[in-house]
Amino acid sequence: MLGRWWMIVPPVLLAGCGPFSSLTDPAGAQSRWLADLGWSLIGLMSIIIISMFVLIAWGALRRRGRLEEHLPIDVDGGKRWILYGGVALPVVVLTILFGVTLVTLQALPGEAEEAPGLRLRVTAHQWWWEVDYLYDDLSLRFSTANELHIPVGVPVEIELQSRDVIHSFWVPQLHGKLDAIPGHTNRVVLRAEAPGTYRGQCAEYCGAQHAHMRFLVVAQPPAAFREWAAHQRQPAPEPSTEELLAGREAFETHACAMCHRIRGTRARGSVAPDLTHFASRDTIAGVLPNTRARLQAWIINAQAFKPGAKMPTLEQFDGETLNALAAYLESLE
Ligand code: CUA
């Protein structure tokens, strides 16, 4: 029974390592610096630890002879080891680490001098991410949530804010962690080097749903990004069937509209994610795949999936209304 305890070690070590979030697979300049720093630390530490174990083994196994052979006892004999191994070596190693870390820190904001090709404001909330696309022309601005699209190869400046507590914005493959602090705006410039979907995660404990405070960064070729942005700017599509019409009516006349906004409808809440193009997102609230069945489950019992979230359980809908509501939301491409 206990004989195979070691079999749980690899799954435990690998738990949480998704294909999209590996620090060792950088897709941006800042992450490359951090990955290089990580590898050099691992390399240096490996050399030190292996040398240490070799010395321990050598000390334990070498022939020592008998005590009489060593008389008189050489009490000063080990001092050099203490001096070299206990003082000189740590000073050298820590100085190297300090230097390497300083160089990395210097390099991190390296792209800030470039004029950003796109400006976003990311606002952290307990427990979701609000994303505003800040174009100088106000008519081009729009908002989304828990998923941001950026053009590949373009420096994107992110103004980071928080609405409540301290969070931390982190996309391991693109940049280093940056705190989102209430009343203070932090900035990071990131640039995705390759198209892809990169997973992000809040990296500062912010309450019960900290672990569920995930988001996606979708890096697209610039033309595809412009197309996506142009679509996001459009108001929500008009309902094309009776059911969708009933769904919109239900959304506008129940609690939904008090918190959420769907541009082009009477729903103008501003404390919860903008749902104008909800169906174009991959996830529901960053925690569930965006499918009709899961959306229904989320509407009637969000607390089961994200306990403590501000989305209440909405059990007042009958089956038909719930169907219509979910169908309407899933039509918001
Ligand atoms: Cu937000 Cu942790």
Q: pLDDT of 98-142, one tens digit each? A: 998 898 888 776 555 667 789 999 999 999 999 999 988 999 999
Residue 2 has pLDDT above 50, yes or no: no
Q: Residue 112 contacts by C-beta under 8 Å, 6 or more apart in sequence? A: 187, 189
| Nearest-atom index, ligand 1, CA of 165 | 1
Residue 244, pLDDT score = 92
**Confidence band of 227 (pLDDT split at 50, 70, 90):** very high
- Reference 219, options 28, 18, 24, 22; nearest CA is 28
**Confidence band of 17 (pLDDT split at 50, 70, 90):** very low
For the residues 146-172, what does the mean pLDDT come to? 93
Across the strands, what pairs with 180? 167
| Any ligand 1 atom below 6 A from CB of 309 | no
Q: How far apart are CA 145 and CA 11, in angstroms?
A: 32
Nearest CA to ligand 1 atom 1: 167
Residue type, 293: A
Residue 3, pLDDT score = 54
Across the strands, what pairs with 133? 120, 142
Comparing 29-33, 237-241, 249-253, the range with the smallest average pLDDT is 29-33
Q: 200 φ, ψ to 5°?
A: -120, 165
- Which tokens is 332 given? 């918001």
> How many percent of the chain have pLDDT more than 70?
91
Q: pLDDT of 310-326, one tens digit each? A: 998 888 888 899 999 99
| Any ligand 1 atom below 6 A from CB of 284 | no
| Any ligand 1 atom below 6 A from CB of 204 | yes
> For residue 292, what are the CA distances in angstroms to 138, 236, 289, 295, 326?
34, 18, 9, 5, 6
Residue 1, pLDDT score = 43
- Which tokens is 260 given? 């959420």
| Any ligand 1 atom below 6 A from CB of 160 | no
Q: How far is the CA of 51 from the centre of ligand 1 (A)?
A: 40
**Confidence band of 21 (pLDDT split at 50, 70, 90):** low
Q: Residue 8 contacts by C-beta under 8 Å, 6 or more apart in sequence? A: none
Residue 5, pLDDT score = 55
| Any ligand 1 atom below 6 A from CB of 124 | yes
| Any ligand 1 atom below 6 A from CB of 199 | no
**Confidence band of 7 (pLDDT split at 50, 70, 90):** low
Residue 252, pLDDT score = 92
Q: pLDDT of 252-302, one tens digit each? A: 998 899 999 999 999 899 899 999 999 999 889 888 999 999 999 999 999
| Nearest-atom index, ligand 1, CA of 205 | 2
Q: How far apart are CA 188 and CA 27, in angstroms?
A: 16
Residue 110, pLDDT score = 52
Give the residue, 289 or 24, on which the prediction is more confident.
Answer: 289
Residue 4 has pLDDT above 90, yes or no: no
> How many percent of the chain have pLDDT more than 90?
53
For the residues 182-199, what does the mean pLDDT come to? 91
Q: How far is the CA of 63 from the centre of ligand 1 (A)?
A: 57
| Nearest-atom index, ligand 1, CA of 124 | 1
- Which tokens is 24 given? 């060792």
Structure letter (DSSP) for residue 180: E
| Any ligand 1 atom below 6 A from CB of 122 | no
pTM of the full structure: 0.80
